[in-house]
Amino acid sequence: MANADWLTKRSRGVHLTIRDIDCREFDVERLAKDLHDLKVNVLSFFCAGYVTVHPTSLSIRVSPYLQGRDLTADIVKAVRAYDIRAVAAMDLSLIPGNAAAAHPEWCSRDEKGKPYKANEDLGDFYIACPLSGYQNEYLAEILREIVSRYELDGIKFGGGSYGFSSYGNGICHCERCKASYHEYSGNEVPTKDDWQDPNWGTFQRWRQQRVVERSKFLYELVKSLDPNMPVMCNSVCFGETGWTTKGALDIERMAEYIDAVQVEAQTRVRVDGDRTHWDFLLWPAEEANYLNTVSNHQTWVLASYFQAWPWRRNGVPPKEQKVYMAQIYANGGNAILNLSGGPIQGHQDKRGFPAVKSLYEFVERNQDYYEGDRSGANVAILYSQDTLFYYGRENPKGYVDAIRGFELALTDHHIPFDIISDAVVKRGALDQYRTIILPTAACMSEATAASLREFVERGGSLIATFETSLYDTGGRKRDEFLLADLFQASYGDTASVMGESNGVYKQAYSNVQNAEHPLLEQLGDTSVIPASDQFCQVNAAAGAEVPLTLSAAFRVFPEGMSYTVEPDTGHPMLVTSEHASGGRVVYFPGQPDAAFTRIGYPDWSLLMVNAVKWTTRGSLPLQVEAPPTLLATLRLQDDRRVVHLVNVNGGRRMFQQLIPARDVQITLPIDQGFVPQRVLALSTGRELPLILNGTQAKVTVPSVEDYEVIVFQGGGQA
């Protein structure tokens, strides 16, 4: 019977991709000991799919190096001897050629009915349709064999086992898909990704629903074989927009029932020829934060050991690896390290493992301070999945940039925040928050708007940007903001801050109209702030304040003619208002959030942070005086306040060394009867001097090298 204890506590994981070549001389005893020495207590490993590591008579590809060995059985036995939980993972996205020939109906197909073949260098593989018999009826046979044969502690499905493939933009024309979609919509499957065609949006919604149904089918199938067997699914959320939208992955609805949710934050840098793209450094924090608000189960974030992409044999430099993974624990999640080069002893580059061991030892040693913790944030950023799918369309990353602008601004100023979903808002589960932030939450339902309106009527506050609430959940534009009454602004049009495009390289600014307004505090001696991207032309209500307006755009070159004599446009770039309930509302008609992510100009960050301070009336649960490169989160336990500090001050990536943050001052308000008696630094186990002044508790942390946890203990116990 499966042991499900790992579902109830914070853990330390490794996912092992077993390659064909690894099966030739796989030393399971050495693997188990290496994992034990690394302080791992949960192992997931490739068991079945395009690489299968046990004898089987089924039509799945068995590694040619296996030679009759039951490697699955050997691994389970070896790791259990060290009290490591064994989770069998499978990826059924690829169908071996012999199975595809025998069952052509299993393949995903293009509009001409031709099966999608995987890249030629993979060999003889075809793409499986998630509605096909291979991933449904035949999967039952595969699972029955595995669950009945091995003493496993869980089953994990790769995203390819339930999501649509990126081949053909995620469009499958197999008979099952065509019949299912016609029954759903009365339409034919579209032939291309075309948002001008209303059928495409309908098709996108159908795919999302099918993926949810598929993942639920997998869950129920496993439970029918063993009701106690934990089920884990690997997916992504908004941090990986391509996979999310093309795969039609709906992690929010999956998280409602899956026993353990895993998302990927694998890549650091992507190199394709002369094109290079760095992924978001705070991606692990972002995903753990978000998943903890949409799931009541343990959440896992998978980080690669290697420098993907394309160098999968070299490890990430140790200094960066530790702080990358530490973000996960600082935000309430569990880290799982992805090894794609086989077992630890077979890795050509072992330099990164001491960093992982250092983190995992720390978490194991201080396990009590991670159990049952919850977020202490009173500010939340909304992520709208409908906006990503139906407003982002050709550029979903643009929407993610808006979210990350607020993430970066708040992180730089050490303000704790949660990332919540539309579903959380609809449920009205907002009591812990003083302010909800809506970064271009364009696609909004009446139910979400009603819940936000009730939130403000109870004294809560909102911050919104750009086209928030201007579209319905299917991406159809409204004539007016759904939240126009709260914004105290009515919509006119959307335009570029640079005016009409006429071939002239231009500049535009937000002009300061009221330097004394709280949102312009600490702006300094300037009357202009850069304006970027697009903005909504709005009319502000009579009772609202408009501290910023848009200048007329003017040329950059030649410098001798770089000026304007045109009057200010009068278009508001900031609208603030106060509700009778005491709630405050800030509306930015422009895009300071997305612009800050892309460019980083500090005035935009200052506006966003001042908006948070004003709307919360300065009532923040944590204050930290430290460099902006020190991440700070606040986690609560019954009689503790736990502050996690992650130092990402490593200069140019990839980090080779970290510059310690010194004399970090932490201040907590004393409220709700919690009065700390002691403060403990977990890295040393030593107490720190605590200063109580009646309303605040203060402590100074001498130095933070990489990851530190500071525990404010009430009641005199630690």
Q: Looking at mean pLDDT, say which of 352-356, 422-426, 691-695 comes out highest.
A: 352-356
Helix (H) / strand (E) element for 291: namely helix 283-294
Write out pLDDT tens, residues 193-221: 888 899 999 999 999 999 889 889 999 99
Write out pLDDT tens, residues 469-483: 999 999 999 999 999
Residue 672 has pLDDT above 70, yes or no: no
Candidate from 160-169, 324-333, 501-510, 520-529 with smallest mean pLDDT: 160-169
DSSP symbols for 120-161: GGG-SEEEBPTTSSTTTHHHHHHHHHHHHHS--SEEEE-GGG
Section 548-561 average pLDDT: 95
404 closest CA partner among 430, 437, 436, 433? 437
pLDDT attached to residue 235? 85
pLDDT attached to residue 613? 98
Section 563-583 average pLDDT: 95
DSSP symbols for 401-430: HHHHHHHHHHHHTT---EEEEHHHHHHT--
Please compute, for residue 661, the number of CA atoms within 13 A of its CA located in the half-sphere on the CB side. 24
Averaged confidence pLDDT in the chain: 94
Q: How confident is the model at residue 1 (pLDDT cuts 50, 70, 90)?
A: low
The maximal CA–CA distance of the chain, rounded, in angstroms, is 83
Amino acid at 170: G
Candidate from 14-28, 174-188, 301-315, 372-386 with smallest mean pLDDT: 301-315
Classify residue 116 as exposed, middle or buried by CB count within 10 Å of its CB (0-12, 13-18, 19+): buried
Helix boundaries (H) for 42-126: 71-80, 97-102
Tokens representing 511 are: 């002009």
Counted residue by residue, the chain has a size of: 718
Tokens representing 16 are: 């092992």
Residue 717 has pLDDT above 50, yes or no: no
pLDDT attached to residue 120? 74
Section 497-520 average pLDDT: 96
Tokens representing 298 are: 């343990």
Section 7-16 average pLDDT: 95
**pTM of the entire structure?**
0.96
Residue 580 has pLDDT above 90, yes or no: yes
Amino acid at 608: M
Helix (H) / strand (E) element for 534: namely strand 534-540
132 closest CA partner among 155, 159, 105, 152? 105
Section 302-311 average pLDDT: 89
Amino acid at 503: G
Section 109-127 average pLDDT: 89
Residues of the chain with pLDDT > 70: what percent? 99
Residue of higher predicted confidence among 604 and 342: 604
Write out pLDDT tens, residues 360-378: 999 999 999 999 999 999 9
State the DSSP code for 103.
Answer: -
Q: Which neighbouring-strand residues pair with 692?
A: 697
561 alpha carbon, distance to own chain's centre: 46
Residue 716 has pLDDT above 50, yes or no: no
Residues 6+ away with beta carbon under 8 Å from 233 = 156, 157, 159, 162, 215, 218, 254, 258, 261, 262
Section 216-245 average pLDDT: 89
Sheet containing strand 686-687, strands side by side: 374-375, 630-637, 640-647, 707-714, 676-681, 686-687
Residues of the chain with pLDDT > 90: what percent? 81
Q: How confident is the model at residue 2 (pLDDT cuts 50, 70, 90)?
A: confident
CA distance 697 to 691: 6
Using DSSP's 3-state secondary structure scheme, residue 197 falls into coil
Residue 172 has pLDDT above 70, yes or no: yes
Residue of higher predicted confidence among 308 and 541: 541
40 alpha carbon, distance to own chain's centre: 23
The full 3-state SS of 166-180, as one line of letters, equals: CHHHHCCCCHHHHHH
Candidate from 8-12, 241-245, 498-502, 600-604 with smallest mean pLDDT: 241-245
Residue 271 has pLDDT above 60, yes or no: yes
Residue 160 has pLDDT above 80, yes or no: no
Write out pLDDT tens, residues 386-432: 999 899 776 888 999 999 999 999 999 999 999 999 999 999 999 99
Catalogue the E-assigned strands of 422-505.
Answer: 435-438, 461-465, 489-496
Section 147-155 average pLDDT: 96
Torsion of CA 488, 492, 495, 501, to 10 degrees: -150
Helix boundaries (H) for 341-479: 353-365, 385-390, 396-412, 422-427, 446-457
Residues 6+ away with beta carbon under 8 Å from 162 = 130, 135, 211, 214, 215, 218, 233
CA distance 63 to 343: 16
Q: Do the beta carbons of residue 479 and residue 455 sit within 8 Å? A: no
